Structure 1
Amino acid sequence: MAAVETQSPVDALQKSLGNALLTSASPAEDLAAATAVFNGFIPKRKPEEIVVATGVADVMAAVKYANAKGLKVSVKANGHHWQGSGLREGSLLINLEKLKGVRIDVEKKTASVQPGVTAIDLHKEVSAVGLYFPGGHCPTVGISGYTLNGGYGWNSGHVGSASDHLISIDVVLADGSFVRATDDNEYADLLWAARGAGQGFFGVVTCFEYRLDLLPRGITLMQSVFPLDSAADVIKFWNEKRAELPSHMEVVTIMATGPTGHRCTVFLGVSFADTEEQGRKDLAVLEDCPVQPRLVHDVHPSDVYEIWGILDKAFPKNWNMNVDVAVVPFEATTDMAASLAEHFKTSPSPLDHVLFAGIGPKAGSVKSAFSPEGNFEPAVYVGCYGIIEKIDVGKEQEVVDWTVKGQDLVWPHAVRGYVGEGRQETAKLRRCYTPEAWDRLEELREKYDPARLFLSWLAADPTFVQ
C-alpha cells in the first residue's frame, strides 16, 4: 500500500495564501509596491516575507503561517507613518492596503471601515449621506494607523478624536483566531488598547466601526499671513482670544516659506459651523488681530477638501521627511514661538515648516490608552517638519539636524508626546502615555501576545532610522 503524502502545516498555510504570499523570489515590482511608504526616506529594513491580504481569511492564515515559521509579525496599511514603522527587518509583513471596504448605516450614524481606507476615502463616503468623521489633517492619512494612534483630526476638539468615535473592532489575535471587541463584551480591554496603542497594538485590526457626526454645513475658513518675526505676537493674540473661541473652531499657525520665497507666519482659523453666518461670526474674533503688517487676509465659505489642500501641499508624497512633535500647554507657546521663528530662519529646505495646532477640549473624551482619564486638557500640538526632494542628495542630514534642534526647543515644555508622529526614541515614546496606561498596555500584551509575535513600537535612534 502506497504511503499517503501529508503536507506540513507550513506548506498547507503557504498553499492557502497562494499569490497573496510574496517572498524574495517574487517580482521586484510586487515587493516594492508591498513595502512602499509615504515618506521618501525609505527605510533599509526589509521583511523576510509579505502577505498582501485581500480579506480576513488571508490575515488569519498569515498569522498562523508566521507562528509556524517562527517569524515575527509587522503590519502596514497605508504606510503614512514617517518612520515606516511597519517595515521591520526579518519579519512577516501583513499588508492591509487592499482592504478598502466602507459600509455606512445612515440610520444608526455608524460606519464599518477596513484598514486600507484613507481619510479622503472615508470622507467621500460619509459626506455623501450628510455625515462626518474627524479624519486626519492630511487627506492621505490612513484610517488604521491614525485611529490606533488616537487620531486627532479636523474638528476633534468639538466632536472628539478618532479613538473616541471607535465603537468596535474586528481583530485577528496572535494565535490566528478572529474576535470582535466592544465596550460590552469580554474583549473590552482590546478596544481600550486599540484607542491609542499605535504600533504597539497586539493584533491585526481588520475592521473599525465608528460612530459618525452630522456634516457641518457652514465650514468657514480664515487665512492671514504675517511676516515670520510676527509669529510670537500672533500666537500671543491666539492665546488671549482662545477663551472666546467655540469648541467647533480650530486654529493652526504655521511658520512656512511662501511662494515668493519669503518666510512667513500663516494664521488659519476654521469654523466647523452649521451655517456660514455662524462661521463668519466665529472667525470675527480672530479678525481683530492687531498684529501688523498683515500681508494677506481672507475669509470665505470652505469645505474639508479645501482645508486638506492647504496642508497637503506641505507634505508631498515620496519627498524625504523628518518629523518630531510634542504636545505643550498654551502658556508655553508664545516664548517658544519666538525661539522657533529664529530657528526656522536656518531651515535648509523651502518646504520645512513649524506647525502649531490647537487641541480642543473634546479630544480624548473616552477613557482609552490615548486618554486614560477621558479628559484631554486643551493644549497645542507643536512639530518641526523637515522636508526635501529626493533628488536633493546630500541635504538629508541637514534636515535631520534641523528638525532635532528645533524640537529640542519644544520638548522641555511638553506635557506629552504623540505616538503617531513623534520620533520613537524610548524616552519620548514613554511620554506618549501615562505610566498607568503604559503598564496596562504591557499587561494586556502579556495576556494577548505572551510570545511577542507582533512587533511593537519602533524604538528610534536620535538620528533618522534607516
Structure 2
Amino acid sequence: MISLPTAKAFPRGADGYESARRATVWNGLVPERFPDIIVQAHETDDVVAAIRYARAYGYQVGIRSGGHSWTASHLRDGGLLLDVSRLDQCAVEPDRMTADVGPGKVASEFATELDAQGLFFPAGHCEGICLGGYLLQGGYGWNSPVLGPACESVLGLEVVTADGELIHCDPENHPDLYWAARGSGPGFFGVVTSFKLRVHPRPAVWGTCLYMYPIEVADEVFAWGRSLIPEIDDRVELQIHTGRSFPGAGLDQPGITIASPVFADSEEEAAKALAPLGTCPVIDKAIVSLPYAPATLANWYTAVMTSYPRGHRYIADNMFTSASAEALLPGIRKIIETMPPHPSHFIFTGWRTDPARADMVYGVEDEVYMALYTIWQDPADDDRYRDWAASNMAAMSHLATGSSLADENLCRRPSRFIAESNMARLDRVRSAYDPENRFHSWLGGV
C-alpha cells in the first residue's frame, strides 16, 4: 500500500482540513473549491510520496508554494492539493554567483538577505510572494528591464515528475522540461522542489522620483507617459499608479502617482536617468514634485505594500498592448470613472520587450502593461465589485496583444498568455512528461 508517511495529510472533512485549505490562499476571497485531500510537504521525500500516492489512487494534483495567485489557481474541486511552502531552503554561493532555493522561500526575504551580502535578484515587487509560483510564471521584478524576468535567471531545477521520480533539469538535462518551467506558471506539469538561480551584483545606488497629480489631468499624464515609454532608460521602471486616494500620503482624493525606481552606479547617473519623468507638460499642476531621492529595498517594499493590505479581497486582471495613447485613453477614462474605492487601483507601466524571449514559453509581452486590482473588505460588496477588472479589460481587449500570468484572471476572462507556437510546443512536452494529465493546468483554460 502506498502511503504518506512523513507529510501532514488532511482528507476533506478531517480536523484541520478547512484551516489548511484557507491557509493556502493569501487572498481574502477564498474560492469555494475543495480538494479531496491536502498534503503539506516538509521535505522532498514528502513530495515524491504525495505524487506516487496521487498516481496510485488516481488523483489530479494542484501545487501551492506561496498562495499569492489572485484566482487561487492551485485550489480545485477534488484531487490532491500539494502545499510545498515549507520547502524554503536557501543556500547562496557568492563565489559562483548562484543560489539554491526552495519553492517556499519568500522572495522579498531572499532579496533582503542578498542585499546584505552585496548581491541582487529581480525578486517581485510585493512582500510575501514565494519563489515557486513567481519563477514559474515568469517573474517580472526589481530591475527586470535590465536583468529580464526572473525566470531568465533560473539555471536549473529539481523536479518531481508525474511518475513520482526526482530529476534534475537544465539546458543539458531534460531541456524540454527546463524550457517549460520558465514561464508556464500554473500550467507546469511537475513539482519543483529546488531552483538553482543566478544572482547578480547589487546595484550601487537605488533611487526614486515621486510625482503626484490630481485626477483632472489624467489625459495629459497618460498621453505623456505613453510617449515616454520608448525613450526611458532601461534602469528606470516607469510606474504610474491611479487610485481614489494617494497611498501612504494621507491625501484623500483621487489622483495619479508616479514613483519610479532607478538602479545605477552613482546618484548622478540615477538622477539623470530619472530626469525625463520630470518633463510632463502639466508638471505645474503636480501636488508633489520630487525629481530624485535615494531609496532602499526596505523603503520600496513598505511603499508598495500600502496598496496591498492583508485581509482584503482581491480580483486582478491585465493586458499587454502597443496601442497609442489616443486609442488607450477612452478605456483609461472608463477605468478611472468606474474605479472602486481605495485601495483598488490601476497600474500603467512601460515594459522592456526582448526579441530573444520570443522562443521562451514565458508569455507574451509588449511595450505597455496595464493591470487592474479590485480590492475590498466586506463580503457584502462581492457582487458590487466582482466584475470591475474583467469588464474594463474586456472592453479594451481589441487593443491587447496578450496578458500576463502574474495577474491572470483566466477563470473569469480567458485571454492569450503564451504565443501559439510556444503553446503547441508546450502541449507536446506535456504529453511526454504528463500523458495522464496528473497535474492540473491553468484554471479556466486558454
TM-score by length of structure 2 reads: 0.93
* Equivalent in the alignment of 2:314: 321
Distance change >3 Å, CA 149–CA 403, structure 1 → 2: same
Structure 1 residue 120 corresponds to structure 2 residue 112: no
For residues 414-439 of structure 1, what are the alpha-carbon distances to aligned partners after superposition, in whole Å with 9 as ceiling and x for unaligned? 1111122121149734x101111111
How far apart are residue 274 of structure 1 and its match?
Answer: 1.9
* Equivalent in the alignment of 1:169: 157
How far apart are residue 27 of structure 1 and its match?
Answer: 2.7
Counterparts of 1:154 and 1:63, CA distance in 2:
34
* Equivalent in the alignment of 1:453: 438
Q: 1:421 aligns with which of 399, 407, 417?
A: 407
Q: In the alignment, is the contact (CA less than 8 A) between 1:261 and 1:350 conserved in 2?
A: no
Aligned residues: 440
How do residues 13-162 of structure 1 correspond to structure 2 at under 5 angstroms? 13-14=3-4, 16-17=5-6, 20-24=8-12, 26-28=14-16, 31-32=19-20, 35-162=23-150
How far apart are residue 285 of structure 1 and its match?
Answer: 1.8
Percent of pairs with identical residues: 29
* Equivalent in the alignment of 1:349: 341
Q: In the alignment, is the contact (CA less than 8 A) between 1:235 and 1:334 conserved in 2?
A: no
How do residues 205-284 of structure 1 correspond to structure 2 at under 5 angstroms? 205-258=192-245, 259-284=250-275
Q: In the alignment, is the contact (CA less than 8 A) between 1:159 and 1:362 conserved in 2?
A: no
Distance change >3 Å, CA 140–CA 458, structure 1 → 2: same
Distance change >3 Å, CA 87–CA 427, structure 1 → 2: closer
How far apart are residue 60 of structure 1 and its match?
Answer: 0.2
Counterparts of 2:324 and 2:376, CA distance in 1:
29
How far apart are residue 132 of structure 1 and its match?
Answer: 0.8
For residues 227-279 of structure 1, what are the alpha-carbon distances to aligned partners after superposition, in whole Å with 9 as ceiling and x for unaligned? 11322312222333334422111101111122332111111222111222211
Distance change >3 Å, CA 364–CA 381, structure 1 → 2: farther
Distance change >3 Å, CA 59–CA 318, structure 1 → 2: same
SS at match of 1:199: helix
How far apart are residue 318 of structure 1 and its match?
Answer: 2.6
Distance change >3 Å, CA 137–CA 57, structure 1 → 2: same
Structure 1 residue 369 corresponds to structure 2 residue 355: no
Counterparts of 1:87 and 1:60, CA distance in 2:
20
Counterparts of 1:228 and 1:364, CA distance in 2:
38
Counterparts of 1:174 and 1:94, CA distance in 2:
13
How far apart are residue 401 of structure 1 and its match?
Answer: 2.2
Q: 1:312 aligns with which of 305, 313, 318?
A: 305
Greater shift in the superposed pair: 93-102 or 376-385 = 376-385
* Equivalent in the alignment of 1:360: 352
| Structure with the greater alpha carbon radius of gyration | 1
Q: 1:302 aligns with which of 286, 292, 295?
A: 295
Q: In the alignment, is the contact (CA less than 8 A) between 1:324 and 1:385 conserved in 2?
A: yes
TM-score by length of structure 1 reads: 0.89
How far apart are residue 36 of structure 1 and its match?
Answer: 3.0
For residues 310-334 of structure 1, what are the alpha-carbon distances to aligned partners after superposition, in whole Å with 9 as ceiling and x for unaligned? 22111112311111111111x4345
* Equivalent in the alignment of 1:286: 277
How far apart are residue 174 of structure 1 and its match?
Answer: 0.5
Q: In the alignment, is the contact (CA less than 8 A) between 1:34 and 1:95 conserved in 2?
A: no
Structure 1 residue runs of 5 or longer lacking an equivalent are 1-8, 462-466
For residues 84-133 of structure 1, what are the alpha-carbon distances to aligned partners after superposition, in whole Å with 9 as ceiling and x for unaligned? 11111111111011111111110111111100112212102211211111
* Equivalent in the alignment of 1:5: none
Give the aligned CA root-mean-square deviation in angstroms.
2.1
How do residues 397-436 of structure 1 correspond to structure 2 at under 5 angstroms? 397-425=383-411, 428-429=414-415, 431-436=416-421
